[in-house]
Amino acid sequence: MVNNAPKVQAFNSYYAQAKSLYAAGDLSAARELFLKAASLANEISVTSSAYDVRMEYHKLAVKLLDFARTKCVRHATPAGAAPAKKNTEDGEVKSFTAEKGGKTITFADVAGLQDVKDQVIFHVLEPMKNPELAKAYGINPGGKLLLYGPPGTGKTFIARAIAGEVDAAFYAINCQDLISKYMGDSSKQLDKLFDEAQQNERAIIFFDEFDSVASKRGDGTGGVDAEMARFVATFLTKVDGFKKSETCKMLLLIAATNRPWALDSAMLRGGRFDTQIYIGVPDQKAREFMVNKAMKDLPLDPDVRLSDIARRLEGFGGGDIVAACDKIRLEAYKKSVRLGKKQNITKADCDLILSGLRNNTGADEIAKFEAYRQGLDVT
């Protein structure tokens, strides 16, 4: 039986410290400790044998994660007061730079997710290749996509692959950073971002962790809520007002979230992010693709079958699958170092790693996404 007492003790200590830091206004330190406490609560929840304890700590983990993400950000300047701090040293709004170069990933690197690929093929790639044909059907290149699903299922990964496929300027925006760094000024930043993106003939703006800026308003009292309301309003003006211009012929907005139910419903109406795609855990074919890619060039014992490894990873997200393969590889490498010569990866190496894995995507979380997909109320 697992003895969770030391973890519970550590959890209590982190939680207490986080609360006092939050009360003292040190939000970034508080965020850090709330996240540590949430991670411990999660560990306690998955390892405990008592149902009540599992549920209690699961709820605590979700609550603390949510609190760290949404509340542990700098508060806005109260209305009417002078801004406390400018964004940059000279007070200018920060410029955004499109990402270019570096290691490019493309659709060929992405397992499955054909529905996302199709959206991009029919809304961007084909209309760019043959504009006349698209025009005959009233298809304008570009648009808005909302990708949602559990953590580690490939939302950010596919957004980067889209950038690799479409020869467009790619602006990757971490919304959590946008709101916490530019509290009080995030809507100005947004103005600037759209202006800069639209200087390009083709542009993609990727809003990662979209729920941190576009959540439903809470109790309406916090600075974060007011900031979000401003952000949502500016965002909607930009989205509704976008027209193709001489300079910008294609603008694709991609937003990603793992809490779609928390989004402000104004974002999801027709003409806005009405194309929503669920990014779930991969099927056997997609898992085999990932395992093959991670392990195909390694020395394997003849009885190690990559398809069996993929089967044992059923229910895991892409991030966990890649991490599991990394661990197996490391295990064999350590053995080779110890023995001073190259060793095959054995079935025992695989068993050791696979049997010790903990799935971070719980069944209740998947159920929540299923309920959301069916249009049920999820909170």
Ligand X SMILES: Nc1ncnc2c1ncn2[C@@H]1O[C@H](COP(=O)(O)OP(=O)(O)OP(=O)(O)O)[C@@H](O)[C@H]1O
Residues that bind ligand X (CB under 6 A): 110-113, 151-157, 258, 282, 286, 290, 318-319, 322
Question: Taking the complex as a whole, how short is the minimal distance between the CB of residue 74 and Mg ion, in angstroms?
Answer: 23
Stretch of 31-39, 88-96, 105-113, 153-161 lying at the interface with Mg ion (CB under 5 A)? 153-161
For 363, half-sphere exposure in the C-beta direction (CA atoms, 13 angstrom radius) is 3
Of 172, 208, 157, which Cα lies nearest the Cα of 317? Answer: 157
CA 373-268-274 angle, 5° bins: 75
Question: Taking the complex as a whole, how short is the minimal distance between the CB of residue 307 and Mg ion, in angstroms?
Answer: 28
Does the protein bind Mg ion through residue 343 (CB under 5 A)? no
Whole-number CA gyration radius for the chain: 23
Question: Taking the complex as a whole, how short is the minimal distance between the CB of residue 135 and ligand X, in angstroms?
Answer: 33
Does the protein bind Mg ion through residue 42 (CB under 5 A)? no
Give me the residue whose beta carbon is nearest to ligand X.
Answer: 318
Q: Which is nearer to ligand X, 112 or 141 (CB)?
A: 112
Q: Which is nearer to ligand X, 193 or 256 (CB)?
A: 256
Q: Which is nearer to ligand X, 269 or 285 (CB)?
A: 285
| DSSP code string of 83-110 | PS--SSTTSPPPPP--B-SSS---GGGS
Q: Which is nearer to ligand X, 21 or 324 (CB)?
A: 324
Q: Which is nearer to ligand X, 111 or 213 (CB)?
A: 111
Q: Which of Mg ion, ligand X, none is residue 153 near (CB under 5 to 8 Å by kind)?
A: ligand X
Out of 4, 156, 186, 200, name the contact with Mg ion by CB under 5 A: 156
Of 167, 172, 169, which Cα lies nearest the Cα of 125? Answer: 167
Question: Taking the complex as a whole, how short is the minimal distance between the CB of residue 148 and ligand X, in angstroms?
Answer: 9
Q: Which is nearer to ligand X, 57 or 206 (CB)?
A: 206
Stretch of 1-9, 61-69, 151-159, 222-230 lying at the interface with Mg ion (CB under 5 A)? 151-159
Does the protein bind Mg ion through residue 187 (CB under 5 A)? no
Kind plus residue range of the DSSP H or E element containing 248: none
Q: Is the dihedral of CA 338, 341, 342, 345 positive or negative?
A: negative
Q: Which of ligand X, Mg ion, none is residue 260 near (CB under 5 to 8 Å by kind)?
A: none
What is the CB neighbour count within 10 angstroms for residue 287?
Answer: 25
- CA distances in angstroms from 213 to 69, 95, 142, 174, 195, listed in the order given: 10, 19, 22, 10, 19
Question: Taking the complex as a whole, how short is the minimal distance between the CB of residue 285 and ligand X, in angstroms?
Answer: 11
Residues facing residue 142 across a β-bridge: 251
Stretch of 149-157, 178-186, 194-202, 225-233 lying at the interface with Mg ion (CB under 5 A)? 149-157
Q: Which is nearer to ligand X, 127 or 260 (CB)?
A: 260
β-pair type (142-148, 276-278): parallel
| Number of residues near Mg ion (by CB under 5 A) | 2
β-pair type (142-148, 250-257): parallel
Of 349, 298, 289, which Cα lies nearest the Cα of 318? Answer: 289
Given a contact cutoff of 8 angstroms between Cβ atoms, the answer to whether 345 and 300 are in contact is: yes
Kind plus residue range of the DSSP H or E element containing 289: helix 284-295
β strands within the chain, DSSP E? 142-148, 169-174, 202-208, 250-257, 276-278
Question: Taking the complex as a whole, how short is the minimal distance between the CB of residue 188 and Mg ion, in angstroms?
Answer: 25
Question: Taking the complex as a whole, how short is the minimal distance between the CB of residue 136 and ligand X, in angstroms?
Answer: 34
Q: Which of Mg ion, ligand X, none is residue 144 near (CB under 5 to 8 Å by kind)?
A: none
Q: Which is nearer to ligand X, 69 or 272 (CB)?
A: 69
Which residues here bind Mg ion, judged by CB under 5 A? 155-156
